[in-house]
Chain A
């Protein structure tokens, strides 16, 4: 199973570069990386998916991330109950004769059509990686013109937040939340 990590990092210039550089330098492979603001100002949240399979190696990845000064917490949620979602935009070749068929598939996947043009339409789908891959397979015969994916976002189920909430809470307090 792929390793899924949630990292809370200081929102400072160059932090993404430090994280990416670490993966390159240590020869760890990033499958996907999604970054954005967290609920706390000054803290960004990354969801990182790697191809590390083995528990000890996974811990080495986590420990190396934690070693970066700007990284506040890293939670390996691979084996935790977690919601993982990714969004993809898929532009499909579709003239008037194909539209109905594609809309049908879109319904089955509970995806949405967000743009229609004479020769194409754009489908927006949210789900886990398997669901997106499966939908892409279904659309491929029509001709996929382009596809963009956000990379996975992960959040643990229930009230738990990433590990060691104490120091995280302290920082949140410091930045005024």
Chain B
């Protein structure tokens, strides 16, 4: 005889069966039954964030570090609408999270009851899928389906809206053991023989190929397969922002990041290539520049798990809807060793030119954001830490100067560019990463102030995360555009900050300030040694720039370069 359980208990039972260890959330009137059930399921840890946006970013950060589904909860109305930014962030970056929201009772739905919002309506365009569960008997199956959809295929956020009466209702609880089988959902798997043959023909005959490694490399776990192809064929690799770490930065074939603030050599290679191998990336405008002039002389092979990405922005010659790792396994035996020394030599010349312009060669005594980040890399790299970066100049400098060797060691909001992402995402990442792996936050003075409220969450949970605030006194990235394209009219980009050291102390965490480069190492050491969260404010040059830069809508090779000394 199956046990009778309430909807709220069924939620707990199902989360446990999904292997959930931690839930990030915030209670309220419409999810009280679920929160009450936490009392009886102590194996499910709940982390009280200070804002529901923080809960979604934390779930996202957890998911990105572990590859597992992150879980966030909120009450109806304002609780649920506060989640929207976090859900949209996860959607754009294909991060698997499940959000469970309370809803007013089914009898009150549609009547503008207290704290009622049409949450499935609001989140429809920013979720992979969502549900309103109106019958407690549907709950277990729906939750199982939600997790399955979130993590399979192209991962993404799924929301389940559960009215309060459904949480209170009970029914026989029989966990649906059968695997999910949805009539309209069949994640792609392998390439056809014909596709493989056509692709191999292009690969083996290319003289100037480039691999474009995106987030899909990490998500399908294809690092080894990509490297195998690259090494065998002597094919250089450029990475998207979310692809960083998918290929070791120190690998000689890795050209680093492509795109708007990518390495000049990577962009030149793409523009001059005769074959692009796009692996789990989606030709975002930030990596293509002007589409009409994008890599004009190349054939293109695109492999993506999401069929709707193929031929969306860039027309390709071979479009393969499949799991990247599976396809590369199909390919790899037949990729020929071709001598591409000439092509690699050309690229090396471009790289040489870049290194002369490197900010690290400017020895003018000014303390720059890039130096703080570079020093953090040198200090922490042996630990292979997780770096959670926010959005702005510091994000791009991190991508350029922190050399990521392992997958899932850079967590950042790429597609949506959500300021305020880093601190809450780092809280989630901390729960996901092994204890010995350090978690560092690289965040701007603007971005930290968007979700600074989550400092208290880190203190309450006594989390070992180290927050490096790159304080340039500006919304730096916007200021950069104003400097370049609006005649230095800095409208509303100068931004004041609180005294971060005092603030940290008020929150009960360690606070440090570094204003000279010489003091960086000492502060980093103190942060590492401290149990619990630490905050370091780096007071850096205010008018620094991120180079190279491809202006929005310009040709990818038309980069504004850092002037040589």
Question: Bound pair: A and B?
Answer: yes
A residues apposed to B, CB below 8 Å: 9-10, 13-14, 17-18, 21, 25, 56, 59-60, 63-64, 66-73, 167-168, 170-171, 174
User: Nearest-CB distance from B154 to chain A (Å)?
Assistant: 8
Closest chain A residue, CB of each to CB of B158: A69
Number of residue pairs spanning A and B whose beta carbons lie under 8 angstroms apart: 47
The answer to whether A171 touches B308 (Cβ under 8 A) is no
The answer to whether B184 touches A64 (Cβ under 8 A) is no
Contact of A9 among B184, B185, B310 (CB under 8 A): B184
Q: Digit string of B123-135 for contact with A (CB within 8 Å is 1, else 0)?
A: 0110011001000
Closest chain A residue, CB of each to CB of B120: A14
Bound CA span A9–B121, Å: 19
Bound CA span A18–B126, Å: 12
User: Nearest-CB distance from B307 to chain A (Å)?
Assistant: 4
Question: Looking at A9, A13, A67, A72, which has the most chain B CB atoms within 10 Å of its CB?
Answer: A67
The answer to whether A10 touches B120 (Cβ under 8 A) is no
Closest chain A residue, CB of each to CB of B154: A67
User: Nearest-CB distance from B427 to chain A (Å)?
Assistant: 30
The answer to whether B183 touches A60 (Cβ under 8 A) is no
Top 10 closest pairs, chain A to chain B, by CB: A171-B183, A63-B308, A72-B184, A63-B307, A69-B129, A72-B183, A64-B308, A56-B311, A71-B184, A69-B185
A sample of 10 cross-chain residue pairs with beta-carbon separation below 8 angstroms, ordered by A number, consists of A10-B184, A14-B120, A14-B132, A17-B124, A21-B124, A60-B308, A60-B311, A68-B184, A72-B183, A167-B186
The answer to whether A167 touches B183 (Cβ under 8 A) is yes
Bound CA span A9–B185, Å: 11
Residues of B in contact (CB 8 Å), total 20
The answer to whether B308 touches A69 (Cβ under 8 A) is no
Contact of B311 among A17, A59, A174 (CB under 8 A): A59
The answer to whether B124 touches A63 (Cβ under 8 A) is no
Bound CA span A63–B306, Å: 9
User: Nearest-CB distance from B351 to chain A (Å)?
Assistant: 35
User: Nearest-CB distance from B42 to chain A (Å)?
Assistant: 34
Q: Digit string of B289-332 for contact with A (CB within 8 Å is 1, else 0)?
A: 00000000000000000111011100100000000000000000
Closest chain B residue, CB of each to CB of A174: B183
B residues apposed to A, CB below 8 Å: 120-121, 124-125, 128-129, 132, 149, 182-186, 306-308, 310-312, 315
Excluding A21-B125, A66-B184, A69-B149, 19 further A-B contacts by CB distance (< 8 Å) are A9-B184, A10-B184, A14-B124, A14-B132, A17-B121, A56-B311, A59-B311, A60-B308, A60-B312, A63-B307, A63-B308, A66-B307, A68-B184, A69-B184, A70-B184, A72-B184, A167-B186, A168-B183, A174-B183
- Which residues of chain B are within 8 angstroms of A67 by Cβ–Cβ distance? 306-308
Closest chain B residue, CB of each to CB of A65: B308
Bound CA span A71–B184, Å: 5
Closest chain B residue, CB of each to CB of A164: B186
User: Nearest-CB distance from B314 to chain A (Å)?
Assistant: 11
Closest chain A residue, CB of each to CB of B311: A56
Closest chain B residue, CB of each to CB of A175: B183
- Known contacts A21-B124, A67-B306; is A170 also within 8 Å of B311 by CB? no
Bound CA span A171–B185, Å: 12
- Which residues of chain B are within 8 angstroms of A10 by Cβ–Cβ distance? 183-184
Bound CA span A72–B128, Å: 16
Bound CA span A171–B129, Å: 20
Bound CA span A18–B184, Å: 14
- Which residues of chain B are within 8 angstroms of A17 by Cβ–Cβ distance? 121, 124
- Which residues of chain B are within 8 angstroms of A18 by Cβ–Cβ distance? 124
- Which residues of chain B are within 8 angstroms of A66 by Cβ–Cβ distance? 184, 307-308
User: Nearest-CB distance from A3 to chain B (Å)?
Assistant: 15
User: Nearest-CB distance from A76 to chain B (Å)?
Assistant: 13
User: Nearest-CB distance from B304 to chain A (Å)?
Assistant: 11
User: Nearest-CB distance from B159 to chain A (Å)?
Assistant: 13
Bound CA span A116–B45, Å: 72
- Which residues of chain A are within 8 angstroms of B310 by Cβ–Cβ distance? 63
Closest chain B residue, CB of each to CB of A25: B125
User: Nearest-CB distance from B40 to chain A (Å)?
Assistant: 32
- Which residues of chain B are within 8 angstroms of A171 by Cβ–Cβ distance? 183
The answer to whether B184 touches A56 (Cβ under 8 A) is no
User: Nearest-CB distance from B414 to chain A (Å)?
Assistant: 20
- Which residues of chain B are within 8 angstroms of A174 by Cβ–Cβ distance? 183
